[in-house]
Amino acid sequence: GLALGLWRRQAALEAAREDEEEKELRQRFMAPPVSGLRELRRRRRELRSRMELLIMETQAEVCRALADLDPGASFAVDSWERKEGGGGISCVLQDGEVFEKAGVNVSVVSGFLSEEAARQMRSRGKSLKAKDGKLPFCAMGVSSVIHPKNPHVPTMHFNYRYFEIEEADGTKQWWFGGGTDLTPTYLNEEDAVHFHKTLKEACDKHDLKLYPKYKKWCDDYFYIKHRGERRGIGGIFFDDVDSPSKEEVFQFVKSCAKAVVPCYIPIVKKHCHDSFTPEEKLWQQLRRGRYVEFNLVYDRGTKFGLLTPGSRIESILMSLPLTARWEYMHNPPESSKEAEILEVLRNPKDWVH
């Protein structure tokens, strides 16, 4: 009887602790997670669950930091489901005092890869063996694009994601991808150094070779071929990373995700009240046009989203600015502030040495 009483008390304490934990998690996130808190807790040692918790935490952290800077505006929080499996949470702020548009999305989707998406992956060197023409997959990530109103505050983008595919013989292929990059309208060297240094510190905790490698990858990836210039002043970017081990890559991705707020928020605080001219605003709109060109023509994530059946187009195109402009044959005067940023976009710089 005594043992049973102890067991009951233990079980009651356990249940109370779980409820408390659930309440705390609920308050920490912007919305309930796609997989459900109970399910995440039940599988909390599995990497998939830990990654989902990380992307939920990152979303909440970034949204709160942005909302603190733009108290008049608020995030519309939109949870959605995908009939093929999974869903997501889109948090979008529009027309604030500081941010013209800021979106932070989480998606956790599963199902079968479309033929088109599988082809895109095979073209990157993945050998995928389908069973009856089907490839079960699971993909999750957090992605964000922040377009401020003031031309002296840069646009920022980050994305961290995990992918798993089960092949015909049951073996699982997995990899991580992601990055954080900055797109200023005008060059501020001090900001560029702060941004890159913060990302370098996150990488250096894991391996000193990572920052130079992923910085170069970022400069190469965000290249608008038809313009001969980069989308911005870079940062870090990586994809298909599956070594040294799942745990080590996860810890690295976690460090990068935790660096998002410190690498960007101080820059916003510093410039969000700077005065600007109509000419500077016009230049910002023209640079935004380039941003749109890259995202629609070259971006792998946008392409994958548009090719995945049942994907949510509104969330995929959230990265596009509220306003942008294309002017015929626009060339800034030589030795102007506008020409200065173009020079860096054509010839990437080393910001940390």
| Residue range 195-240, pLDDT digits in tens | 999 999 999 999 999 999 999 999 999 999 999 999 999 999 999 9
3-class DSSP assignment, residue 60: helix
Average pLDDT, the chain: 91
Model confidence, pTM = 0.90
pLDDT, average across residues 274-290: 97
Among the listed residues 89, 74, 189, 96, the one whose alpha carbon sits nearest the alpha carbon of residue 142: 89
% of the chain surpassing 70 pLDDT: 95
User: For the chain, which residues make up each domain, given as ranges?
Assistant: 35-346
Comparing 243-247, 256-260, 310-314, the range with the smallest average pLDDT is 310-314
Quick check: 18 pLDDT over 90?
no
- Rounded Cα gap, residues 262 and 266, in angstroms: 7
Per-residue pLDDT at 300 = 85
Specify burial of residue 289 (Cβ count, 10 A radius: 0-12, 13-18, 19+).
middle
% of the chain surpassing 90 pLDDT: 71
Comparing 78-82, 163-167, 243-247, 323-327, the range with the smallest average pLDDT is 163-167
Per-residue pLDDT at 171 = 81
Per-residue pLDDT at 172 = 84
Structure tokens at 30: 């912007």
Under DSSP, the state recorded for 333 is: P
- Rounded Cα gap, residues 33 and 38, in angstroms: 10
Give the helix ranges, DSSP H, for the chain. 2-28, 37-42, 47-69, 115-122, 189-204, 210-221, 246-258, 260-271, 278-297, 300-307, 313-316, 337-346
Comparing 28-32, 66-70, 261-265, 272-276, the range with the smallest average pLDDT is 28-32
Quick check: 134 pLDDT over 80?
no
CB-based contacts of 16, cutoff 8 Å, min separation 6: none
> Is-contact 281 205, C-beta < 8 A?
no
Quick check: 108 pLDDT over 90?
yes
Quick check: 132 pLDDT over 70?
no
Peptide linkage before 244 cis (omega within 30 of 0)? yes
**In which band, very low, low, confident or very high, does the pLDDT at 9 lie, cut at 50, 70 and 90?**
confident
pLDDT, average across residues 86-106: 95
Per-residue pLDDT at 215 = 98
Per-residue pLDDT at 131 = 67
Quick check: 14 pLDDT over 90?
no
> Is-contact 279 325, C-beta < 8 A?
no
Q: How many CA atoms lie within 13 A of 16 on its CB side?
A: 6
3-class DSSP assignment, residue 348: coil
Instruction: Choose, from 157, 196, 206, 271, the residue flagged as catalytic.
Output: 157
**In which band, very low, low, confident or very high, does the pLDDT at 55 lie, cut at 50, 70 and 90?**
very high
Comparing 113-127, 134-148, 189-203, 225-239, the range with the smallest average pLDDT is 113-127
Per-residue pLDDT at 16 = 75
**In which band, very low, low, confident or very high, does the pLDDT at 168 lie, cut at 50, 70 and 90?**
confident
Looking at domain 35-346, its CATH superfamily turns out to be: Coproporphyrinogen III oxidase, aerobic (3.40.1500.10)
Whether 157 is a known active-site residue: answer: yes
